[in-house]
């Protein structure tokens, strides 16, 4: 290793960092205090560390592997407490558990670390990172996978805002107003993608049959993916709907914030084309898309995780997630092996009862240390 830690990290110190990070609220855009606590953890242990211009916590060292997770959370005030060995609080799972585990492993093994900002909104931290630093030899991105799970694939994301306007008129008239037009537009979009999903389901059923045969023959990797059929489909979701009479009283306006998840084999351009065929008078402003990613289970990173999880006492699970993460951006910018890993049940992401098992957190730290040591020795 090019740089070793000046001071080790005990299980108690790692848990203390985790609890402190969860105690400090850090919704997207308000990460500074939490970032400073994270930076102090590295500085107190003799590591070079700083906050960059967008607010990322940068602690460079041995670039044989970059451990990186996000500091920000979605909004939500959950009382922070430890009950029956579980830490309750917003961000305990997504993703301060993975973040703290990676910080502890990075200090213990002397590998590079970055805590990024803005993952829950515009991924500004990850976007800045890929433009501002050289490619590492490998990347481990921090998101909840369960301590014995490794995520290799995510769908991409395309977001946009649909807008439509009609002249104001008495509500007794039968002509549809902008609100009705927006509702009709969204229904037509859902119908277009549900028809495509029916075709995908038929193909997935055939693939599942082939996978079952491969498992019987001993030629398939274990795959505990989230909803495998969904992983291969475009999912259309409205995330905000608003409308009403304009301030000048002369028109009715309506907008829909929409997100479309991009599976492997689909493109943002293809999704845009499908959506725009349904516009019929409205218009849509598209955001910059994030492409899907699917890493091979035979990479050095994936192999290191399988070995480490077994040595800590687990049975490794390979995952594909239906959401999107910063790993999508890293894979699009850097040509190196990578995976996503972290303690916690992803079904508890963003929910009112978000909580993390502390024993699982300890095991995840141990796994990350073994993975980092293995990759640093290559």
| Residues 314-328 pLDDT 10s | 999 999 999 999 999
Beta strand residue intervals within 271-372, DSSP E: 283-286, 293-294, 317-321, 338-341, 355-357
Distance of CA 254 to the CA centre of its chain: 30
Asked if residue 89 belongs to a domain, the reply is yes
The CA distance from 330 to 337, in Å, is 10
Q: Which of 108, 119, 349, 357 is catalytic?
A: 119
Dihedral sign computed on CA atoms, order 317, 268, 114, 33:
negative
How far CA 231 is from CA of 149, 155, 261, 272, 377, in Å, comes to: 17, 7, 9, 19, 35
Token output for 296: 């091979």
The CA distance from 43 to 51, in Å, is 12
pLDDT at 378: 81
pLDDT at 147: 98
Confidence of residue 3 (pLDDT cuts 50, 70, 90): very low
Of 286, 312, 345, which residue sits at a domain end? 286
Mean per-residue pLDDT, 54-73: 98
Biggest alpha carbon–alpha carbon distance for the chain: 76
Q: Concatenated DSSP letters for 61-125?
A: -EEEEEEEEE--B-S-----EEETTEEESTTTTTTHHHHHHHHHHHHHHTEEEEEES-TTTT-HH
> Angle of helix 358-376 relative to helix 96-109, nearest 10 degrees?
40
3-state SS of the chain: helix, strand, coil percent to 5? 40, 25, 40
* DSSP-assigned letter for residue 27: B
Cis previous bond, 131, omega within 30: no
Confidence of residue 224 (pLDDT cuts 50, 70, 90): low
Q: Do 266 and 219 have their domain in common? A: yes
Q: Which of 72, 137, 232, 278 is catalytic?
A: 72
* DSSP-assigned letter for residue 220: S
Q: Over pLDDT 70: what percentage of the chain?
A: 89
Q: What is the CATH number of the domain that holds 255?
A: 3.30.70.360
Tens of pLDDT, residues 156-168: 999 999 999 999 9
Find, among 59, 135, 161, the residue nearest to 102 by Cα: 59
Three-class SS of residue 299? coil
Q: Do 113 and 26 have their domain in common? A: yes
The CA distance from 295 to 152, in Å, is 5
Find, among 88, 75, 25, the residue nearest to 355 by Cα: 88
* DSSP-assigned letter for residue 377: T
Q: Do 66 and 163 have their domain in common? A: no
Q: Do 150 and 252 have their domain in common? A: no
pLDDT at 2: 36
pLDDT at 277: 93
Least-confidence region, from 85-89, 109-113, 137-141, 209-213: 209-213
pLDDT at 8: 63
Tens of pLDDT, residues 88-103: 999 999 999 999 999 9
Residue 280 falls in the annotated catalytic set: no
Q: Do 44 and 167 have their domain in common? A: no
Q: Do 23 and 150 have their domain in common? A: yes
The CA distance from 148 to 176, in Å, is 53
Q: Is the pLDDT of residue 24 over 70?
A: yes
Asked if residue 6 belongs to a domain, the reply is no
Q: Do 179 and 119 have their domain in common? A: no
Asked if residue 1 belongs to a domain, the reply is no
Determine whether 53 is exposed, middle or buried from the number of CB atoms within 10 Å of its CB (0-12, 13-18, 19+): exposed
Tens of pLDDT, residues 108-138: 999 999 999 999 999 999 999 999 999 999 9
Confidence of residue 196 (pLDDT cuts 50, 70, 90): low
Neighbours of 65 (CB within 10 A): 32
Confidence of residue 220 (pLDDT cuts 50, 70, 90): very low
Determine whether 347 is exposed, middle or buried from the number of CB atoms within 10 Å of its CB (0-12, 13-18, 19+): exposed
Tens of pLDDT, residues 272-293: 999 999 998 899 999 999 999 9
pLDDT at 9: 79
Domain range for 182 is 156-286
pLDDT at 206: 45
DSSP bridge pairs for 158: 260
Of 286, 307, 322, which residue sits at a domain end? 286
The CA distance from 154 to 68, in Å, is 17
The CA distance from 319 to 143, in Å, is 12
Q: Is the pLDDT of residue 172 over 90?
A: yes
Token output for 109: 């093994």
- Count of domains in the chain? 2
Of 237, 253, 286, which residue sits at a domain end? 286
Q: Do 163 and 149 have their domain in common? A: no
Residue 119 falls in the annotated catalytic set: yes
> Angle of helix 268-276 relative to helix 178-216, nearest 10 degrees?
140
Mean per-residue pLDDT, 286-306: 96
What element of type H or E holds 157?
Answer: strand 156-167
Residue with tokens 């959401």, as numbered in its chain:
323
Three-class SS of residue 101? helix
Token output for 1: 């290793």
Contact present, 330 and 126 (Cβ < 8 Å): yes
Tens of pLDDT, residues 331-361: 999 999 999 999 999 999 999 999 999 999 9
At a CB cut-off of 8 Å and minimum separation 6, what does 34 contact? 21, 24, 25, 26, 71
Asked if residue 65 belongs to a domain, the reply is yes
Per the prediction, the chain carries an average pLDDT of: 91
């Amino acid at each position: 290793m090019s740089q070793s830690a000046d001071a080790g990290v005990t299980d108690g110190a790692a848990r203390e960092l985790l609890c402190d990070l969860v105690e400090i609220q850090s919704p997207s855009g308000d990460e500074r205090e939490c970032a400073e606590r994270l930076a102090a953890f590295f500085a107190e242990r003799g590591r070079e560390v700083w906050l960059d211009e967008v607010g990322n916590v940068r602690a460079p060292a041995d670039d044989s592997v970059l451990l990186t997770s996000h500091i920000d959370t979605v909004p939500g005030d959950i009382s922070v407490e430890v009950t029956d060995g579980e830490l309750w609080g917003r961000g305990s799972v997504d993703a301060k558990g993975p973040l703290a585990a990676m910080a502890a492993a990075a200090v213990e093994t002397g590998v590079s670390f970055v805590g990024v900002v803005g993952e829950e909104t515009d991924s500004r931290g990850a976007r800045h990172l890929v433009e501002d630093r050289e490619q590492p030899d490998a990347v481990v991105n921090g998101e909840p996978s369960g301590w014995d799970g490794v995520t290799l694939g995510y769908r991409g994301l395309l977001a946009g805002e649909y807008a439509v306007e009609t002249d104001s008129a008495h509500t007794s008239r039968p002509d549809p107003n902008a609100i009705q037009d927006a509702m009709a537009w969204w229904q037509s979009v859902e119908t277009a993608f549900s028809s495509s999903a029916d075709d995908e389901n038929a193909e997935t059923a055939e693939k599942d049959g082939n996978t079952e045969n491969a498992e019987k023959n001993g030629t398939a990797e274990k795959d505990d993916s989230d909803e495998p059929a969904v992983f291969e489909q475009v999912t259309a979701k409205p995330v905000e709907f608003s409308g009403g009479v304009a301030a000048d009283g002369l028109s009715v306006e309506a907008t829909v914030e929409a997100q479309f998840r991009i599976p492997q084999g689909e493109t943002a351009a293809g999704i845009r084309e499908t959506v725009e065929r349904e516009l019929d008078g409205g218009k849509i402003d598209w955001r910059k898309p994030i492409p899907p990613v699917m890493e091979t289970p035979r990479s050095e990173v994936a192999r290191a995780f399988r070995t480490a999880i077994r040595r800590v006492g687990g049975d490794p699970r390979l995952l594909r997630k239906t959401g999107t993460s910063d790993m999508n951006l890293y894979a699009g910018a850097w040509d190196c092996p990578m995976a996503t890993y972290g303690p916690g049940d992803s079904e508890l992401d963003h929910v009112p009862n978000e909580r993390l098992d502390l024993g699982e957190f300890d095991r995840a730290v141990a796994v990350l240390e073994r993975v980092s040591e293995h990759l640093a020795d290559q």
